[in-house]
Amino acid sequence: MDGAAFSAAIPAGVDWCAGADCVVHHSAAVEWNLIRAEFPILAQEVNGHPLIYFDNAATTQKPRPVLDALQNYYEHNNANVHRGLHELSSRATEAYESARQRVALYLNAASADEIVFTRGTTESINLVAQTWGGKFLRPNDVILLTEMEHHSNLVPWQLLAERMGAQLRFVPVRDDGTLALEELPGLLTPEVKLFAFTHISNSLGTINPVTQLCREARRVGALTLVDAAQSAGHLPLDVQSLGCDFLAFSGHKMCGPTGIGALYGRADVLETLPPWHGGGEMIVSVSLTKSSYKQAPHRFEAGTPNIAGAIGLAAAIDYLEPIGRPEIFAHDSALAAYAAQRLTEIPGMRLLGPSEERGALVGFVMDSVHPHDLTTFADQYGLALRGGHHCNQPLMKRFGVPGTTRASFYFYNTSAEIDRMIEILQAAHRFFA
């Protein structure tokens, strides 16, 4: 890692689960520059400047081994899974099912049968809302959410609540971007049947205390769903020690391809859920008027799945694991802390989110400059930021802003890139003054 200021910004011993689930190791041994060289897309100029890619919370870039795994599959093994009795189909099935095992291991699930492949976080949450919600929710039951949820963890519950006559409740967000945990006892009452919350806020960077929230929910008999879209590629996740019932994530936010993700569901809960999509592969037998269904997880995977996606996701996991998720977390949160510190040098800058223990991103508002204008300005210098509401409209309203500009980091980013971002933002400040 380069830069004395950057080293000084490394947070000491952050406990990101606030329940002592994990320990942070700072690894000077990881050769981040060599790792960066494995991402071909990063070695280009955009608008005449070296690309600085700070839109990792939207999607991350893909390293060579993931690209190779996709190409190798299509060049040598492509066939449909679970159907053919020929060699290529056996290979494809073997690769697809071992990808499921790879995901289970990554999350420390008790079994690969607890992993349902989906298109990503959004589809995973919709699966739970439609299957669990449709079967178990009753009028006036309550689903507890938080004010910081991405629309993906809000709209499916709104649709469900409307359909079932259920209620939604929200844990408020404090001014510093953390959850108002002191309000939990009044919110987590026995009417709450499910508590769904994000692990890391995609706008604020807040890291929520998952273990504690799951424990509190269990006390009133509520199930829990963790939106791990922003955490799965950034820090160790152990679903058994977190104590959640469901966990959703997307492959494309952790070096994998788009269109693939997974839902973890605790075996005894998953097994009680009815199918949601009907079609091939999810049935045991079919007559003209009735069908019987496979066990989980296959019951939830109708039709030809995203085989290449699953293989690419497994390759991404194989890529991340040797680097080490504790090392990735330490690196990324140090970058975020450094960025937060340097952003305060710019006049009229307002940062959102906690001042300590933030995930790999910073959201900010520059006095009188619309985030879209700022993002467009940055793009002229090859700097990819994101401006807007980040699928967090209620949260933006909570903070009284139409949107923010967000810089989000991954392990291939550097403190030198942050220094360059600050120069560009200073130029923007002068330009828009």
Ligand X SMILES: Cc1ncc(COP(=O)(O)O)c(C=O)c1O
Edge to edge, what strands does the sheet with 386-388 contain?
349-352, 361-366, 404-408, 386-388
Q: How many residues are there in the chain?
A: 433
By CB under 6 A, name the one of 100, 150, 331, 406 that touches ligand X.
Answer: 150
- The Cα–Cα gap between 117 and 120 comes to 8
Binders of ligand X among residues 33 to 92 (CB under 6 A) are 57-58
Query: 130 vs 414, which CB is nearer to ligand X?
Result: 130
Q: Indicate the residue type of 254.
A: M
Name, in order, each residue with C-beta under 8 angstroms of 182's C-beta and a sequence gap of 6 or more: none
307-323 and 64-72 are packed helices; what angle lies between their axes, rounded to 10 degrees?
150
371-379 and 415-432 are packed helices; what angle lies between their axes, rounded to 10 degrees?
120
Name, in order, each residue with C-beta under 8 angstroms of 430's C-beta and a sequence gap of 6 or more: none
Query: 92 vs 194, which CB is nearer to ligand X?
Result: 194
By CB under 6 A, name the one of 152, 404, 405, 414 that touches ligand X.
Answer: 152
In the complex, minimum distance from the CB of residue 87 to ligand X, in angstroms, rounded to a whole number = 34
In the complex, minimum distance from the CB of residue 122 to ligand X, in angstroms, rounded to a whole number = 3
421 binds ligand X (CB under 6 A): no
By CB under 6 A, name the one of 22, 129, 173, 229 that touches ligand X.
Answer: 229
Q: Which helix (H) or strand (E) holds 264?
A: strand 261-265
In the complex, minimum distance from the CB of residue 248 to ligand X, in angstroms, rounded to a whole number = 8
Q: What is the DSSP letter of 272?
A: T
Binding mask 238-277 for ligand X (x = CB under 6 A): ------------x---------------------------
Q: Which stretch binds ligand X (CB under 6 A): 45-53, 155-163, 207-215, 225-233?
A: 225-233
Percent composition of the chain: helix, strand, coil (DSSP 3-state, to 5): 40, 20, 40
Is 391 considered catalytic here?
A: yes
- The Cα–Cα gap between 319 and 65 comes to 7
- The Cα–Cα gap between 255 and 258 comes to 9
122 binds ligand X (CB under 6 A): yes
- The Cα–Cα gap between 208 and 58 comes to 19
By CB under 6 A, name the one of 230, 405, 408, 414 that touches ligand X.
Answer: 230
Query: 103 vs 424, which CB is nearer to ligand X?
Result: 103
227 binds ligand X (CB under 6 A): yes
CB 403 within 8 A of CB 387: yes
By CB under 6 A, name the one of 202, 206, 306, 408 that touches ligand X.
Answer: 202
Query: 93 vs 312, which CB is nearer to ligand X?
Result: 312
120 binds ligand X (CB under 6 A): yes
- The Cα–Cα gap between 339 and 335 comes to 6
Query: 156 vs 297, which CB is nearer to ligand X?
Result: 156
Q: Which member of 22, 214, 244, 391 is catalytic?
A: 391
As to burial, measured by CB atoms within 10 angstroms (0-12 exposed, 13-18 middle, 19+ buried), residue 13 is exposed
198 binds ligand X (CB under 6 A): yes
Query: 55 vs 417, which CB is nearer to ligand X?
Result: 55
By CB under 6 A, name the one of 77, 121, 208, 404 that touches ligand X.
Answer: 121
| Rg of the chain over all Cα atoms, to the nearest angstrom | 22
Q: Which stretch binds ligand X (CB under 6 A): 32-40, 117-125, 295-303, 397-405?
A: 117-125
395 binds ligand X (CB under 6 A): no
Residue 306 CB neighbours (<10 A): 21
118 binds ligand X (CB under 6 A): no
Query: 61 vs 153, which CB is nearer to ligand X?
Result: 153
- The Cα–Cα gap between 256 and 309 comes to 8
In the complex, minimum distance from the CB of residue 154 to ligand X, in angstroms, rounded to a whole number = 10
Query: 196 vs 270, which CB is nearer to ligand X?
Result: 196
Q: Which helix (H) or strand (E) holds 46?
A: strand 45-46
Q: Report, as residue numbers or ranges, the catalytic residues.
A: 391
Residues forming contacts to ligand X in the complex (CB under 6 A) are 57-58, 120-122, 150, 152-153, 198, 202, 227, 229-230, 250
